[in-house]
Structure 1
Amino acid sequence: MENIHRPTIMVTNDDGIDAPGLRALVRVLVSTDRYNVQVCAPDSEKSAVSHCITWRHPISAKRVHIDGATAFAACGTPADCASLGISKALFPTISDLVVSGINMGSNCGYHIIYSGTVAGAREAFFNGVPSVSISYDWVGGKSNVHDYTLAAEACLPIISAIVDEIRNQNYPHRCFLNIDLPTDVANHKGYKLTKQGTSIFRMGWRQVTSDMQGEKMASTMTMESNSEASAETQTSPILPENPLFRREVISIEHGDNDTDHRILQEGYITVTPLGALSPAEKDSHVFFQNWLPSVVAHPSSSSL
């Protein structure tokens, strides 16, 4: 009977049901003995699928054993899993909070648009359920699997405070939170409220051969295509009229000094409120406010 009074947290991610970041997060949440923990996550990696949803076909969900939690692996995207998990079709009740993560790699700046992890939280937000996305700035050669546990533990005060605000009906409903944890999470400098910046990995393409398919890009954000698309690519014949191309990092642009990526690199845990809408900058709106009437009044010769 005591579980009836516990808040329910639903966990999803984009790295897949077996990802160490998700498992560490669930393990830490369960260890508090404060929450009912539900899991609905993709059955395979779905990194960088953004807010893609499955529309035309049904998706399957398979029960998975995770100690202390009720868990399912679904053959959908992170947004699918979040939506299914809070729909009452999979679980008997709607969770109080959705937590998406912990992602392998940071999600700051423009990468928020690509991120399946952020999309999992955004989908819950679309449906009126408070949500948080969590990412750890994994760096090869410096990070290890135990860092996910440290990251989860570092997020517990925020998660606990959110649940309290929800219980007291004080939590704002017009945003969701995106949290990024620094590489040296054991020695983080504290928590800072930030805003989404404009940092981005500029991407290019290069032609590859079949034996290069397994290569990883050297960036903290995994920009691999999903497993189904990769499988299709690998079976494609290498013909002159059917070449293979792979993304690669050309440069990194960091954006402003007071935004999420820069502050994360300084060693802080960044907490960034996000919304569903992406309004243009004011100067752009002013330009088009003057431009549109002139277009209508004087159509250009190119449009004739």
Structure 2
Amino acid sequence: MESTAAAAMALAPVLLVTNDDGIDAPGLRFLVEQLVAARRYRVLVCAPDSDKSGVSHCITWQRALFCKRVDISGATAFGVSGTPADCTSLGISGKLFDGWFLIWWVLSGINIGSNCGYHVIYSGTVAGAREAFLYGIPAIAMSYDWVKGQSSVNDLKVFAEVCMPLINTILTEIKNGTYPQGSFLNVDVPTDAAHHKGYKITKQGKYMAARISWEQTVYKKPAVERYQTANIDVDGEKDSELVTPAENDLLFKAAIVARSSDEVEEEEDMDRKSLVDGYITVTPLGALSHTDPEAIPYFKACVTPG
């Protein structure tokens, strides 16, 4: 009986999981736990070995990446000293995992913090999915609308549970050859994940919760600090990556400046508006930047010789 089950798993669709909060982040662990429990997938994990939130689609060219096996029950996992895009690229390359696997699908998340509107540009979670899309592999970026003081780590487990029907449905579409190849998906789950209003197909809006400002600071000796994502503290430790500056160097640290809540777009089919209204938003994305059609005649006139 065990040999039959093992043979079935050997033929199961192979999913690659990554994220930007790091391989120890609870969102990734809960997602993998649900995928393994479903007994329908062979689960591979290739994720950053530390928090890489907000790195966008950064890739590593000038140095080698360190890869270390990580024990995650039911999965084959590696923590990598790179970005989410690095992890996806390496994971699907066929060079990291023993044997050769045809990766059916890439799941990036569960991110702590929503990724709607312009935040898609900054998001390492979205980049992990986009990198797969660039190689023709279906992908989903998955993020939870974490609210400090209201959300808890258990909400990430609920997220994983409520998204399994979507994951299973899309896998069926991939198996049947009916899944569209022209986009990847960006999924955001509302703060009250247990009482969501259902799935809603949305468009990327112009929402931006905060701007980055800069504050001059002083050098502090590197110290061991608690592992944390961009939004919550999580048990564990990591080494600071501060480098000792020269005597006359100026030091500046990024600061997040919140924007007022009334700057959320009002259109009903936009991602952030729908998420705030309690829906699980499913936003198809592409990799191309779309030019404003009204700008084309203006710039043609500017660059065309008189």
TM superposition score normalised by structure 2 = 0.87
Task: Please tell me whether residue 85 in structure 1 is matched to residue 94 in structure 2.
Answer: no
Distance change >3 Å, CA 241–CA 74, structure 1 → 2: closer
> Any conservation in 2 of the 1:203–1:251 contact (CA below 8 Å)?
no
Q: Is the contact made by 1:208 and 1:246 (CA closer than 8 Å) also made in structure 2?
A: no
1:254 to 250, 264, 268: 264
User: Structure 1 residues 80, 289: CA separation in 2 closer, same or farther (over 3 Å shift)?
Assistant: same
Query: Which residue of structure 2 lines up, in the alignment, with residue 302 of structure 1?
Result: none
Partner SS for 2:257:
strand
State the distance in 1 between where 2:195 and 2:212 align: 32
Hey, what does 1:151 align to over in structure 2? 159
Matched to 2:158, the amino acid is L
The residue that corresponds to 1:206 in the other structure is 215
Q: Please, which moves more after superposition, 282-291 or 102-111?
A: 282-291
> 1:231 corresponds to which residue?
241
Q: How many residues align?
A: 285
Deviations 1:60-83 (A, max 9, x none): 211111000011111111000001
Q: Provide the C-alpha distance between the structure 2 equivalents of 1:117 and 1:109, rounded to a whole number of angstroms.
A: 14
**Between the two proteins, what is the percent identity of the paired residues?**
51
Secondary structure class of the residue paired with 2:169: helix
RMSD of aligned alpha carbons: 2.4
Match of 1:68 in 2: 74
For 1:32-55, what per-residue CA distance to the aligned partner results, in whole angstroms no more than 9, with x for missing partners? 111111100001110000000011
Distance of 1:38 and 1:66 partners within structure 2: 10
User: Which whole-Å CA distance do the structure 1 matches of 2:217 and 2:267 have between them?
Assistant: 37
Question: Given residue 232 of structure 1, which amino acid in structure 2 is its aligned partner?
Answer: L
**CA distance in structure 1 between the partners assigned to 2:266 and 2:204 by the alignment:** 10
Deviation at 1:126, TM superposition (A): 0.4
Instruction: Give the Å deviation of 1:155.
Output: 1.1
2:290 is matched with which residue: 252, 266, 279? 279
**Aligned: 1:196 with 2:204:** yes
Q: Compute the TM-score of the two structures, normalised by the length of structure 1.
A: 0.87
User: 1:1-304 to 2 correspondence within 5 Å?
Assistant: 1-91=7-97, 92-200=100-208, 201-209=210-218, 231-232=241-242, 235-236=244-245, 242-252=250-260, 253-258=263-268, 259-293=270-304, 296-297=305-306
- Unaligned 5+ segments in structure 2 are 1-6
2:219, 2:251 within 8 Å by CA — same for their partners in 1? no
